[in-house]
Amino acid sequence: MIKKFVLTIFLVLGSYCLVSAETIRLSYANFPPASTFPSVQMERWKEAVEERTNGQVRVDTYPGGSLLGARNMFRGVIQGQADIGNICMSYQPGVFPMTTVLELPLGFTSSKVASIVLWELFEKYQPQEFEQVKVLTMFGTAPSNLMTKQPVRNLAELKGMEIRASGTASQILDILGAVAVDMPMSETPEALQRGMVKGLLSSLEVLMDFNFAAYTPYQTRLDLQVYPFAVIMNKDKWNSLPQDVQNVMEELRLEQAIWTGEYMDAQVEKSLEYARDNYDNQMFELAAEEYAEIDEKLEFLIEKWKEEATKNNLPADEILADLFRLKEYYEAELAVQ
């Protein structure tokens, strides 16, 4: 009897230790709400990792800034306040001299192509800016367009208007005559509601995902820069993971970038439909001369980026040449799909 009891205790405890020793729990912080694309891709990654490691890894997700916010995400992951975090490189100007090449007005037309190009550039150049963390994936948004409370049918109507953006997008707004107000996306709903800003410059899926369609019923087609993102992991945590788990995560890196790009492109389309059907939103196009004027005014940003990149010991010309080559290649490939 006693023997049986001891054996039972041993088996129960033994199996408990086995499970808890084998289950790796990772915290994953994200700054915007669960309904938005950075958090949707986070849930997809969590599911893929949990499934492909056969439950060996469990990922606890924290959307909406509940663990780390946009402004302290990078530092928070480096310091280990979260194991994994999602950052937008545009929110910390000067910190990511290489990957912010995506913020230049280079004519990306989709999030999918921007995401693949960003990932391939990162893989090739392994820039120092990410030295302190392990990068799990990267993606770029769809191109940025103007969403405003009042119509912007020409550049004169944009003059002096307070518009929220971040990073190079803020510089672009200033160059075009608006007054840029720099803040992360997660602070934008309040700024719009309080009237601190009269609109924003971003990819258009936010019309639906944040319901900005209700506040900014006018859109102006500009198809400007994209915003680059990275999902990063604390380096010590990464080094502590077993090889098979690392392999699952490494195999997911490009796949996750593509998944996110495709998801976002589809979401932009849905969002425009949503804004039209529910809020009668209107999309304006500028006159052809104004588009040409914008291109001309923004051209110097490329030279400016090159100067900064060179100061940071980056091969600026080579990076840009690779970017254009990859962009052209993947755009052609996407067109035949």
- Residue 88 binds ligand DTR, judged by CB under 6 A: yes
Non-local CB neighbours of 33 within 8 Å, separated by 6+ positions:
39, 63, 64, 186, 209, 210
- Residue 185 binds ligand DTR, judged by CB under 6 A: yes
- Residue 38 binds ligand DTR, judged by CB under 6 A: yes
Q: CB of 202: closest distance to ligand DTR in angstroms? A: 3
Task: Evaluate whether 257 touches 108 at the Cβ level (below 8 Å).
Answer: no
Of 26, 27, 28, 37, which lies in the binding site for ligand DTR, with binding defined by CB under 6 A? 37
Non-local CB neighbours of 302 within 8 Å, separated by 6+ positions:
104, 106, 320
Task: Rounding to the nearest 10 degrees, give the CA dihedral for residues 265, 68, 232, 230.
Answer: 30
State which residue, 206 or 326, has the beta carbon closest to ligand DTR. 206
Q: CB of 180: closest distance to ligand DTR in angstroms? A: 12
- Residue 203 binds ligand DTR, judged by CB under 6 A: yes
Part of the chain binding ligand DTR (CB under 6 A), chosen from 36-44, 233-241, 284-292, 295-303: 36-44
- Residue 212 binds ligand DTR, judged by CB under 6 A: no
Sheet holding 179-182, edge to edge: 179-182, 162-165, 199-202, 145-148, 218-221, 282-285
Helices (H) and strands (E) in the chain, counts: 13, 11
Of 227, 238, 274, 305, which lies in the binding site for ligand DTR, with binding defined by CB under 6 A? 227
How many residues bind ligand DTR (CB under 6 A)? The answer is 12
Q: CB of 154: closest distance to ligand DTR in angstroms? A: 23
- Residue 167 binds ligand DTR, judged by CB under 6 A: no
Return the DSSP state at 213. Answer: G
Other C-beta atoms within 10 Å of 61: how many? 18
Taking CB under 6 A as the criterion, which residues in 231-270 touch ligand DTR? none
Q: CB of 267: closest distance to ligand DTR in angstroms? A: 9
Of 29, 32, 100, 241, which lies in the binding site for ligand DTR, with binding defined by CB under 6 A? 32
Rounded to whole angstroms, the Cα distance separating 111 from 268 reads 10
Taking CB under 6 A as the criterion, which residues in 132-161 touch ligand DTR? 141
- Residue 166 binds ligand DTR, judged by CB under 6 A: yes
Q: Give the pair of three-digit tokens for residue 154.
A: 């020409």
By the 10 Å C-beta count (0-12 exposed, 13-18 middle, 19+ buried), 67 is classed as: buried
- Residue 177 parent element (H or E): none
Of 61, 92, 171, 202, which lies in the binding site for ligand DTR, with binding defined by CB under 6 A? 202
Point out which residues bind ligand DTR (CB under 6 A): 32, 36-38, 88, 141, 166, 185, 202-203, 206, 227
